[in-house]
């Protein structure tokens, strides 16, 4: 029903819009015509003013010519001694006014001919000046001359009037045309306003229907998204559990296996697991960063420790790492993720080898990953940071998200990312980090020295496989671990006098996200609440918000042993609760 109403409104609106478009087009044409007519009327008005000026000038000059001719006639009666000089002056004055008359009458051929006739008559009179001195001949010639001159002047007057009338008539017609266009434009403007009001009214009705449909679609989408989020949260947790356990078991196995062949097989298994874990974590990292679920925790971070861990990810020696004494003020986990991605990208696409180094620059630290590979063309240097982008001809392993994550991490860390590259000249990616006060820690400490060194750890995880794996990892870090599968076992251990120095708790226990609450109850029973690390495979936005609000350190499965060791070092150093 709503669809049919919307369709009917669309049809009516379409007709009204077509009529409105036509009216607007006509209004536009009339506006153009009005402007042209206005310009034409202005031009004709200027022409009329010009003709009026010509008429006034001609009238003034004819009067002046008449006066000059009277002066010539009067000078002929002067005494002989003065006559010749007076006649010459009077004639010169008359000729000056005749020349001015001809200039003013040059506008049209008719006026020019009339002026030429007057000039001719006057010059003829001047040529017969001697005869005019004889009384008898003078009277007859004077009558004929004056009659012809009056006729010529009258002809000029009529010509000037006609010239004026033509200009005034053209101006009047242009004004009438301008008025007609203005009236038509006003009528069409009123029609356009009416059509606009009608279209707006119908558009509002259509907008209300569309809004209702959008609200219904949004509600359905929200419900579907909520269902998808719940499904992904559960699925993520279930998939991460075995991957988390496998990662920890392989790490433990590598430290225990004997024989070069066996070690090589374990290393290959570990690399395959790391690749699978990396792609899974990469997809998660991008989703978390885009959703704003990652909050950096800046701290004094020795770069050498991060360099060593990244170098350990590439045991074949294809990553050359320069020693670094610098300490940066940044989030160590986010920085390690960014540099690890850059190193993997450089080795994969840069000819099989890469370099990782740091240097002091202007009170900051530039951390650089470079290679000597084929380089990156200028037109590709922006788009390689987009998701799922792999340049043609490059290794197709991975999902094309590594550099996209690096770009977003650089924004989160306020660490400008710079790329310098050219075809055939390799590539250099640099992150600029703020320096921290203090001295670098001496690298090379054992995992136990970095981690627990005999500390008592209380572990809670309801998954037996994951519990056994993480317990082994904690023991390898030097901890004395008590493992529990539920809250009741924790209560029993505490009641038996256990005083843990660290709690490591899985977030999802017995299918519920209750790890934080269990940790709070356990800490409340102890005189000195120990620091807590929450481990989870759930990555929903509400879960991540709850983890941030808890004040505890937290890790997303699968957890590598060195990440676990780094987190333990931070929380036991007082940087987290």
Domain ranges of the chain: 2-199, 297-434, 447-572
Q: What is the pLDDT of residues 206-258, one digit of tens each?
A: 778 778 887 887 777 666 655 554 555 555 555 666 666 666 666 667 667 77
DSSP-assigned letter for residue 259: S
CB count in 10 Å sphere of residue 474: 25
**CATH of the structural domain 297-434, one choice from 3.40.1380.10, 3.30.565.10, 3.30.450.20, 3.40.50.720:** 3.30.565.10
Name the architecture of domain 447-572.
3-Layer(aba) Sandwich (3.40)
Domain 2-199 classification at class level: mainly alpha
Among candidate residues 335, 337, 379, 381, the one with its CA nearest the CA of residue 358: 335
Q: Are 505 and 530 in contact (CB under 8 A)?
A: no
Among 22-31, 168-177, 275-284, the minimum mean pLDDT is found in 275-284
Helix (H, G, I), strand (E, B) or coil at 526: coil
Residue 441's pLDDT is 41
Residue 134's pLDDT is 53
Q: What is the pLDDT of residues 245-298, one digit of tens each?
A: 666 666 667 667 777 777 777 666 766 666 566 555 555 555 555 555 566 778
Q: Whole-angstrom distance between the N-terminal and C-terminal Cα of the chain?
A: 59
Across the strands, what pairs with 360?
A: 365
User: Is residue 4 pLDDT above 90, yes or no?
Assistant: no
Torsion (CA) 383, 388, 392, 396 in degrees, nearest 10: 140
């Amino acid at each position: 029903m709503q669809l049919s109403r919307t369709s009917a409104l669309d049809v009516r609106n379409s007709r009204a819009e077509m009529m409105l478009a036509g009216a607007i087009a006509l209004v536009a044409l009339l506006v153009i015509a009005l402007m042209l007519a206005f310009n034409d009327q202005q031009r004709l008005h200027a022409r009329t003013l010009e003709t009026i000026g010509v008429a006034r000038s001609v009238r003034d000059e004819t009067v002046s010519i008449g006066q000059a001719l009277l002066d010539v006639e009067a000078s002929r009666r002067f005494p002989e001694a003065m006559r010749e000089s007076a006649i010459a002056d009077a004639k010169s004055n008359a000729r000056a006014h005749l020349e001015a008359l001809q200039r003013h009458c040059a506008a049209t051929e008719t006026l020019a001919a009339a002026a030429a006739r007057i000039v001719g008559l006057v010059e003829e009179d001047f040529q017969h000046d001697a005869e005019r001195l004889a009384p008898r001949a003078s009277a007859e010639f004077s009558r004929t001359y004056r009659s012809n001159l009056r006729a010529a002047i009258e002809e000029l007057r009529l010509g000037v009037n006609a010239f004026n009338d033509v200009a005034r008539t053209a101006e009047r017609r242009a004004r009438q045309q301008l008025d007609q266009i203005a009236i038509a434009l006003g009528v069409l403007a009123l029609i356009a306003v009416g059509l606009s009001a009608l279209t707006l009214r119908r558009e509002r009705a259509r907008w209300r229907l569309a809004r209702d449909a959008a609200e219904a679609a949004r509600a359905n989408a929200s419900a579907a998204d909520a269902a998808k989020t719940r499904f992904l949260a559960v699925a993520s947790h279930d998939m991460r559990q075995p991957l988390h356990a496998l990662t920890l078991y392989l790490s433990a196995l590598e430290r225990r296996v004997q024989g070069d062949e066996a070690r090589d097989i374990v290393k290959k298994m570990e690399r395959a697991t790391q690749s699978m874990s990396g792609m899974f974590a990469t997809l998660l990292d991008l989703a978390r960063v885009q959703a704003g679920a990652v909050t950096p925790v800046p701290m004094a971070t020795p770069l050498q420790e991060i360099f060593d861990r990244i170098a350990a990810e590439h045991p074949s020696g294809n990553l050359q790492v320069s020693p670094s004494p610098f300490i940066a003020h940044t989030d160590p986990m986010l920085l390690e993720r960014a540099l690890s991605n850059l190193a993997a990208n450089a080795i994969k696409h840069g000819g099989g080898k890469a370099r990782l180094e740091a240097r002091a620059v202007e009170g900051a630290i530039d951390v650089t990953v470079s290679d000597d590979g084929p380089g990156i063309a200028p037109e590709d240097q922006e788009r390689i940071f987009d998701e799922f982008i792999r340049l043609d001809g490059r290794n197709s392993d991975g999902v094309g998200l590594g550099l996209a994550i690096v770009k977003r991490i650089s924004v989160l860390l306020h660490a400008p990312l710079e790329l310098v590259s050219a075809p055939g000249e390799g590539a250099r990616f640099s992150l600029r980090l703020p320096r921290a006060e203090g001295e670098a820690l001496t690298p090379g400490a054992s995992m136990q020295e970095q981690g627990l060194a005999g500390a008592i750890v209380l572990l809670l995880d309801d998954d037996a496989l994951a519990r056994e794996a993480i317990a082994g990892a904690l023991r390898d870090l030097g901890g004395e671990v008590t493992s529990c599968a539920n809250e009741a076992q924790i209560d029993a251990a505490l009641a038996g006098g256990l005083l843990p120095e660290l709690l490591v708790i899985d977030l999802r226990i017995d299918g519920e996200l209750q790890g934080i609450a269990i940790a709070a109850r356990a800490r409340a029973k102890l005189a000195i609440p120990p620091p807590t690390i929450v481990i989870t495979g759930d990555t929903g936005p509400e879960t991540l918000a709850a983890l941030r609000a808890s004040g505890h350190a937290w890790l997303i499965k699968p957890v590598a042993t060195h990440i676990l060791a780094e987190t333990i070092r931070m929380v036991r150093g007082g940087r987290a609760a």
